Amino acid sequence: MVRKLRSFILPWFAACVSGIGWAQVQLAVRLPNAPSVSHILLASAQVGAVRAASSSGGPVLLTRQQAETIALANNPRIHIGQLLAKVQHQVVRETRSSELPDLSGNLTAVEAEEGSRISAGGLTASRLLEHAGMGVQLSQLITDFGHSQNLVASAKLNEKARLADAEASREDIILATDQVFYQAIESEATLKVAEQTVSARQTLVDQVSALTSAKLKSDLDLSFAQVNLSQAKLLQLDAQNNLDAAKAALDAVLGYDRPTNYRLAGGSDALAALPPDVGTLVASAIQNRPDLQSLQWSEQAARKYSRAQHEQLLPTISALGAVGKTPVGSSQYFPTNWYGAVGVNMSVPIFNGFRYTAEASQASLEAKTASERTRDLRDQVVRDVRTAWLNANTALQRVTVTGELLRQANLALNLAQTRYQLGLSSIVELSQAELQQTQAAISDANARSQYGFAMADVRFQTGVQP
């Protein structure tokens, strides 16, 4: 009991202190894979720190984990998933109400021509009487042979499905955040390479220009050097534009409506180890993927609903009660000033145009459809996990290959520069070496960021998120 109280009191107190919404804390308590309350508080603190740093005008240091935390705190899709889960919880309460007592009060006062009779429009009260009365009526379902019980069970399973959808939205946001984060990292690395290339080629243009003025190099050499410099500047412009676009996408996924000056940190997980056994990843995905869990809960809910629809053909037994007082009324028609009665009613459906039968058949077909959807998604999950593992494995190999390519390209560029300075080669050989070195540097930077995102995709596909 103490643990239960602490599990609710502490989150409520933490929410009050930090200013975060109670809805987020309540969902965190109910979701099995949702972030803990400490994570929610950490998210609130990190959001405040980013806003403070942004308002001060300085660059904001942002790691991938911080970006994920801020996105989970700010992104509207997270709130949409939480609200839909809350909506389904109210549906559970609405459905359960049919099993609870129905108590209503009435206060009636009638002024009529004493003893007159209704000649049209109704048979329930053929005589009109002047009176005033008050009372209550109670109706309690005794049994409908499982119909209401299965409807409640179906609603509860649908609630679990919506909670799983909320968790799936959380993982979607994490993947989207990782994607734009690594795109920004890749764009930053490409821009850095482009700036270094422009600087190196500007130095070469200055050297060749001086040698050309001294009649030691031809104008052709100067033209080649200037063309290479212009190409490097175009590369720098494209890289800057790609970086600005990536940061705009990062602002959007983090839930910011104004541009923020980020200083991105790649983190230590860029070259995280790849699990060697894909079978373990597939088993983890089958067990942990929230979208698959959502369809499984929906399938079970459809089966319960189908059973409830079939049980509409069974009788319904209810208890009824009424008690009240009639302080004003003719003594001829109201010999006492109070009334009361209890009774039991059994309603047996006989024929309603085959509506119940059609609804039962419809629910059975929908349950079968839900089962096939679950099986189809399970097959897709297995395929996506294997594909993600293969992509990550290839990306890891690309990191090794591009690293070796960059080392060889740097060596070739050094040799080409030495040969050109000694007059043993032409500007064409040096230009080709510079181009290969630039491409190798960009490929190496891209391979590292792509492997980081490939690992993020593996985590997403297996349903294992931090």
Task: Report the greatest alpha carbon distance in the chain.
Answer: 134
In the block, tokens 């009365």 appear at 133
Contact criterion met (CB below 8 Å) for 367 and 305: yes
Q: Are residues 243 and 134 in the same domain?
A: no
Q: Are residues 149 and 285 in the same domain?
A: yes
Task: Among 319, 334, 353, identify where a domain stops.
Answer: 353
Question: Is residue 368, in this structure, part of any structural domain at all?
Answer: yes
Question: Is residue 266, in this structure, part of any structural domain at all?
Answer: yes
pLDDT at 271: 72
Q: How many domains does the chain have?
A: 3
> Can you tell me whether residue 217 is helix, strand or coil?
coil
Task: Identify which of 73, 253, 176, 162 has the alpha carbon closest to the alpha carbon of residue 460.
Answer: 176
Point out which residues pair with 141 in neighbouring strands: 318
For residue range 182-194, list pLDDT tens digits in order: 999 989 889 999 9
Question: Is residue 98, in this structure, part of any structural domain at all?
Answer: no
CATH number at residue 383: 1.20.1600.10
Contact criterion met (CB below 8 Å) for 104 and 214: no
Query: Which stretches in the chain have pLDDT values below 50?
Result: 1-45, 52-54, 267-268
Contact criterion met (CB below 8 Å) for 147 and 337: no
pLDDT at 260: 82
CATH number at residue 115: 2.20.200
Q: Are residues 205 and 291 in the same domain?
A: yes
Can you give the pTM of this predicted structure?
0.76
Task: Among 353, 379, 410, identify where a domain stops.
Answer: 353
Q: Are residues 302 and 323 in the same domain?
A: no
Question: Is residue 80, in this structure, part of any structural domain at all?
Answer: no
229 to 191, 412, 413, 441: CA distances (angstroms) = 15, 19, 16, 17
Q: Are residues 137 and 21 in the same domain?
A: no
Q: Which residues contact 104 (CB under 8 A, 6 or more apart)?
A: 136, 137
pLDDT at 28: 46
Q: Are residues 349 and 380 in the same domain?
A: no
Q: Are residues 375 and 293 in the same domain?
A: yes
Radius of gyration for the alpha carbons in the chain, expressed in angstroms and rounded: 36
Task: Among 353, 382, 404, identify where a domain stops.
Answer: 353
Q: By residue range, what is the domain housing residue 273?
A: 145-310+354-466
Question: Is residue 150, in this structure, part of any structural domain at all?
Answer: yes
Q: Are residues 113 and 127 in the same domain?
A: yes
For residue range 368-409, list pLDDT tens digits in order: 999 999 999 999 999 999 999 999 999 999 999 999 999 999
Contact criterion met (CB below 8 Å) for 299 and 371: yes
pLDDT at 9: 43
Question: Is residue 284, in this structure, part of any structural domain at all?
Answer: yes
Q: Residue 464, Cβ neighbours under 10 Å: how many?
A: 16
pLDDT at 58: 64
Question: Is residue 454, in this structure, part of any structural domain at all?
Answer: yes
- Using a 10 angstrom Cβ sphere, with 0-12 exposed, 13-18 middle and 19 or more buried, the burial of residue 286 is middle
Q: Are residues 267 and 416 in the same domain?
A: yes
Q: Are residues 124 and 256 in the same domain?
A: no
Q: Are residues 108 and 233 in the same domain?
A: no
Question: Is residue 96, in this structure, part of any structural domain at all?
Answer: no
Q: Are residues 348 and 419 in the same domain?
A: no
